[in-house]
Structure 1
Amino acid sequence: MLKEKIREIARSLQDKAVATRRHLHAHPELSFEETQTAAFVASKLDALGISYTRMANTGLVALLEGTKGPSGQVIALRADMDALPITELNDVPYKSQNPGVMHACGHDVHTTSLLGVAEILLQLRHTFAGTVKLIFQPGEETIPGGASMMIAEGVLRNPAPARILGQHVMPELPVGKIGMRPGRYMASADEIYIEVYGKGGHGAMPHTTIDPVIIASHMILAFQQIVSRNADPTMPSVLSIGKVIADGAHNVIPDKVIIDGTFRTLDETWRFDAHERIRRMAKSIAESMGGSCKVDIRVGYPVLINHEELTAEVRALTEEYMGAENVVTLPVWMAAEDFASYSQVSDACFYRLGVGNAERGITSGLHTATFDADEQSLEIGAGLMAWLALRSLGAS
């Protein structure tokens, strides 16, 4: 059976996959700086005899065609390659060797899994007709995101995939479990940068100043009304302020206050309406109190939408490969992911790969200095994605 053959090949590649993942983990690179990572991936593709092209500077796209007769069917599979500006605290042999940079989001697992998929498909190319597009993407962690750049450069053309699949590690899920959610799954994420201007002076003489600290305080409180009194209560929205700098002193009112925050939602129309409300509210509050402000809202990733019918199909196939008891339905998550850019222009399914193992102490969350993954997930990640690709192309 195809399923058993895939499992057999994935098992045989496990030691190789662990070595690959540990190399990547030990040599992380930040977004759009993945030159050595891309070179490493290219060397692996070269060894397999798979041709590729460069995109978005450090990205790679490879095509792998089946030999079971002619077919115009195309499916795309995506893995991201970049790491985060975090100093790793794990005491492991494969600890990051690049100070201040760490694969704290599991992109080393994603890249390793997709390389494993390539090797499985090569061994089974006689079982399918059609084309699998392998996307090794840079810059997932930094807007505008590598996905949007690769889309602009034509990654979803020539040939155009009918669907695109992506997977992401999830430490909250035990290894051996897969998580899915149809429809709206992850939020848009936009960055808010506001500078509030007043007139500084002595803290004992506030009547001679235009206090930007007070103005900023009113803004921060008022912004909460945008969600609580303007957003549809059934539509998740988050407006959080995470950074405020009023660089005065205990007795000095500053000239300027800086406010940084984020706005997230699951509706693209409301998203941009909220942007305008933030701008208008900030300006009106500042001016009404005698000050002024500059508002910069940097548009980030859009809402990630898992195509309903495709996700139902992927779930059924995943249950067939993993067992129905190992596939769970996920809640909406207000974090963001630039795979969302693909989901805005193509039928897409983004699912979660369990990598946690409480018995081994592998429980740390994403984007933490102690994040790690149970490496058994490499065999599962490669095998499952290969199975989904092959079945999507009619292999049996």
Structure 2
Amino acid sequence: MLQQIKALAAQYKQDFIGIRQHLHANPELSYEEFETSAFIQTTLTNWGIPFKVLANTGVVGIIEGNNPISKVIALRADMDALPITEQNDVPYKSTKPGVMHACGHDVHTTCLLGAAKILNETKQHWSGTVKLIFQLGEEKNPGGASLMIKEGVLDNPAPSKIFALHVHPGMEVGTFSFRGGMVMASADEIYITIKAKGGHAAAPQFTADPILIASQLVVSLQQIVSRQNDPFNPTVLSITAFNAGNTTNVIPSEVKLMGTFRAMNEDWRFKAHDLIKQQAKALVESMGATIDITIDVGYPFVKNDVNLSAAAKVLAIDFAGADNVSETELRMGAEDFAYYSQLIPACFFRLGAGNKAKGITNSVHTPVFDVDENCIEQGMGMLAWLAVNN
């Protein structure tokens, strides 16, 4: 079966590189993936794979092998893009200014489509059912995974386990990495508005100066991480936007801040929310201003099932060789795949997509991100291989 899967992945490689380039050139933002969804639906229809649509743009396909009720395995790919203007000079460059597949979701969708074609053509050789989850809105709260779960993506039939991959340009093409247990952090969004008396910049004594107050707050909040948190408990608090004023001689009356809080411990996560609110309110009000603070609770942490991930790593060694399989390090990035991992055994692994010799090393979420497209053959083959062996 392994050789058959690898042969089909190699045979269809160029076709799916073409699909990836089509998706890359036509990116869509979170919850707006209508053209992408239609493309997936048409493709599955052409292959005779039944599907249904959830949460407006999510697509869920079903492939039944022999004895379809014996087991159900889910494979998931996200399909939304980011609000970034692409700077790559490539034939498949984004045709939509300000929108770009800068996180590789075009590759993820392509790999799942490729796995679907392989599984559909080999279904007489494996047992069980494979559920194909093409998911909307991974990049933006509340997360498309949460919406699809609410609409029953994990029901009828209910998968016993779920797999997903994510491209990583820091790993060479042809490699994979796995990790059991905690692997990625929770992610919450912080929104703060500080209001105070503004006035002439030459007479600060008649103002409360919200810019100064906000500056103090940005520094002060870091003490929650450095002094309230156990240093062995991974945590990140970053203020990422500071917006105020529009001229040189006026102290404004309002400052807006935005930021993110990441953690790998749910008890500490919500304790920290309370500390952030209490400290911000006390500091700002003590300096003569008012504050409105909202913490938008986002994705929980991603926790890979230990046994499932260990077994997947062994299968990956069979597929790619021991030298090409490593352990994923802990990362403070977030993923709404976490919602699935909280409900059923899950394995979220990385697909090497970089190529130092070709200069393909730029990080995700940048305007120059790209992949070595040879990773598509590897990704589609690995997803199919994991599906038939679990």
The TM-score bracket by the shorter chain reads over 0.9
Q: Specify the alignment match of 1:3 in structure 2.
A: 2
Among candidates 199, 202, 211, match of residue 200 of structure 2 = 202
Q: Specify the alignment match of 2:40 in structure 1.
A: 41
> Within 1, Cα distance between the matches of 2:346 and 2:21?
29
SS in 2 for 1:352: strand
> Within 2, Cα distance between the matches of 1:204 and 1:309?
65
Q: Deviations over 1:241-284 (max 9, x none)?
A: 11112316433222111111111111112111111111111111
> Within 2, Cα distance between the matches of 1:207 and 1:359?
59
Aligned length: 390
SS in 2 for 1:210: coil
Counterpart amino acid of residue 190 in structure 1: D
Q: Deviations over 1:4-39 (max 9, x none)?
A: 111111111112111111111111111111111111
> Within 1, Cα distance between the matches of 2:208 and 2:141?
35
Measured after TM superposition, the shift of residue 227 of structure 1 is 0.5
Q: Specify the alignment match of 1:107 in structure 2.
A: 105
Measured after TM superposition, the shift of residue 103 of structure 1 is 1.1
Instruction: Note the residue ranges of structure 2 that are not aligned, 5 or more in a row.
Output: none
Normalised to the residue count of structure 1, the TM-score between the two structures is 0.96
2:377 paired with 1:379: yes
Q: Specify the alignment match of 2:304 in structure 1.
A: 306
2:166 paired with 1:142: no
Counterpart amino acid of residue 54 in structure 1: V
Measured after TM superposition, the shift of residue 388 of structure 1 is 0.4
Q: Specify the alignment match of 1:316 in structure 2.
A: 314
Relative to structure 1, the CA distance from residue 191 to residue 70 in structure 2 (aligned partners, 3 Å threshold; closer, same or farther) is closer
Among candidates 118, 122, 140, match of residue 120 of structure 1 = 118
Normalised to the residue count of structure 2, the TM-score between the two structures is 0.97
Q: Specify the alignment match of 2:51 in structure 1.
A: 52
Q: Deviations over 1:97-120 (max 9, x none)?
A: 122211111111111111111111
Aligned-residue Cα RMSD (Å) equals: 1.2
> Within 2, Cα distance between the matches of 1:218 and 1:248?
20
Percent identity of paired positions between Structure 1 and Structure 2: 53
Q: Assess if the C-alpha contact under 8 Å between 2:302 and 2:338 holds in 1.
A: yes
> Within 1, Cα distance between the matches of 2:198 and 2:63?
64
SS in 1 for 2:69: coil
Measured after TM superposition, the shift of residue 129 of structure 1 is 1.9
Counterpart amino acid of residue 130 in structure 2: V
Q: Assess if the C-alpha contact under 8 Å between 2:68 and 2:129 holds in 1.
A: no
Among candidates 270, 273, 283, match of residue 272 of structure 1 = 270
Q: Specify the alignment match of 1:250 in structure 2.
A: 248
2:166 paired with 1:168: yes
Q: Specify the alignment match of 1:84 in structure 2.
A: 82
Measured after TM superposition, the shift of residue 204 of structure 1 is 3.1
Q: Deviations over 1:175-226 (max 9, x none)?
A: 0110122111111111111111111122333332222222212211110111
> Within 2, Cα distance between the matches of 1:276 and 1:118?
45
2:212 paired with 1:214: yes
Among candidates 66, 72, 75, match of residue 73 of structure 2 = 75
Measured after TM superposition, the shift of residue 174 of structure 1 is 0.4
> Within 2, Cα distance between the matches of 1:246 and 1:390?
55
Relative to structure 1, the CA distance from residue 96 to residue 248 in structure 2 (aligned partners, 3 Å threshold; closer, same or farther) is closer
